Structure 1
Amino acid sequence: MDLRKLKTLIDLVSESNISELEITEADGKVRIVKTDPNAAVMTAAPAFQQAAPQQQAVAAPAAPVAAPVVAAAPAEPTGHTIKSPMVGTYYGAASPGAKPFVEVGTVVKEGQPVCIIEAMKIMNEIEADKSGTVTKVMCENGQAVEFGQPLFIIE
Structure 2
Amino acid sequence: MELSVTDLRELVTALNQSDIVELTLKGADFELTLRKPGAMVSASAPAPIAPRAIEGAAPSPPPPVEPVIPAAPATPATPPGKGSDLLSITSPMVGTFYRSPAPEEPAFVGVGDRISSGQTVCIIEAMKLMNELEAEISGEIVEILVENAQPVEFGQTLMLVRPL
- Normalised by the size of structure 2, how large is the TM-score? 0.51
Q: Which residue of 1 aligns with 2:149?
A: 142
Q: How many residues align structurally?
A: 102
Partner of 2:90: 83
Which residue of the partner structure matches residue 104 of structure 2? Answer: 97
Deviation string 1:56-86 (CA, Å, 9 cap, x unpaired) is xxxxxxxxxxxxxxxxxx7164401000000
- Structure 1 residue identity aligned to 2:96: T
Task: Output one character per residue of 1:23-71: Cα deviation in whole Å (capped at 9) or x when no partner.
Answer: x99xxx8xxxxxxxxxxxxxxxxx94699xxxxxxxxxxxxxxxxxxxx
* Residues 1:106 and 2:109 are matched in the alignment: no
Deviations 1:66-122 (A, max 9, x none): xxxxxxxx7164401000000000000000021000000000000000000000110
- The share of aligned pairs that are identical, in percent, is 45
| Letter aligned with residue 95 of structure 1 | A
2:74 is aligned to: none
Q: Which structure's residues are more often strand, by fraction?
A: 1
Instruction: Provide TM-score, normalisation by structure 1.
Output: 0.53
Name the Cα RMSD after superposition.
Answer: 3.3
Change (3 A) 1:133 1:95: same
Give unpaired runs (5+ residues) of structure 2.
9-26, 30-53, 61-78
CA distance in 2: counterparts of 1:143 and 1:151, whole angstroms: 11
Could you list the runs of 5+ residues in structure 1 that have no partner in the other structure?
1-12, 19-23, 30-46, 52-73
Alignment map for 1:19-58 (pairs within 5 Å): 48=57
**Paired AA for residue 138 in structure 1:** L
1:151 aligns with 2:158: yes
Q: 2:135 aligns with which of 128, 133, 147?
A: 128
1:131 to partner: Cα distance: 0.1
